[in-house]
């Protein structure tokens, strides 16, 4: 069985247990060490580039569900501007605009 630090810094992906996660949170394994390793890995794959993701809601609010985490849930008082489902033309125009600005990901 791998030690927690071996799992974190291994080339092979592995899952840490709740107890191992608590070791990190409680400072048994310094968080700065983990953050440094995460920075090295990000730099290895992406260098100093930033990848931008855009989320374009095709409707905002008006959700019949009441998921506690969501600002658009039916009983939310989040101040989110509500609007009905966008038309196909509006969705298309949003996608065209995203392409023009060279955004990498367009999710709707």
pLDDT, tens digit (0-9, with 9 covering 90-100), for 30-88: 888 888 888 888 888 888 887 777 677 788 777 788 888 787 777 878 787 888 888 99
What tokens were used for 78?
């989040």
Same domain, 40 and 87: no
Query: How many domains, the chain?
Result: 2
Residues 6+ away with beta carbon under 8 Å from 56: 91, 94, 98, 106, 107, 108
Range of the domain at 106: 51-108
Say whether both 61 and 79 belong to one domain.
Answer: yes
Four-CA torsion 79, 81, 82, 88, nearest 10 degrees: -150
Q: Contact, 59 vs 85, CB < 8 A?
A: yes
Q: Are residues 64 and 29 in the same domain?
A: no
What is the number of residues in the chain? 108
pLDDT at res. 88: 93
Q: pTM, whole model, 2 decimals?
A: 0.45
Stretch 2-30: mean pLDDT: 77
89 with 69, same domain: the answer is yes
Stated as kind and residue range, the H or E segment containing 90 is helix 88-100
């Amino acid at each position: 069985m791998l030690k927690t630090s071996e799992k974190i810094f291994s080339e092979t992906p592995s899952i840490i247990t709740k107890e191992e996660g608590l070791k990190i949170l409680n400072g048994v394994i310094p968080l700065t060490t983990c953050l440094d390793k995460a920075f090295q890995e990000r730099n290895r794959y992406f260098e100093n580039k930033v990848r931008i993701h855009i989320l374009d809601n095709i409707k905002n609010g008006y959700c019949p569900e009441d998921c506690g985490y969501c600002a658009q849930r039916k009983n939310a008082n989040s101040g989110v501007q509500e609007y009905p489902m966008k038309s196909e033309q509006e969705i298309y125009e949003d996608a065209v605009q995203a392409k023009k600005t060279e955004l990498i990901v367009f999710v709707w």
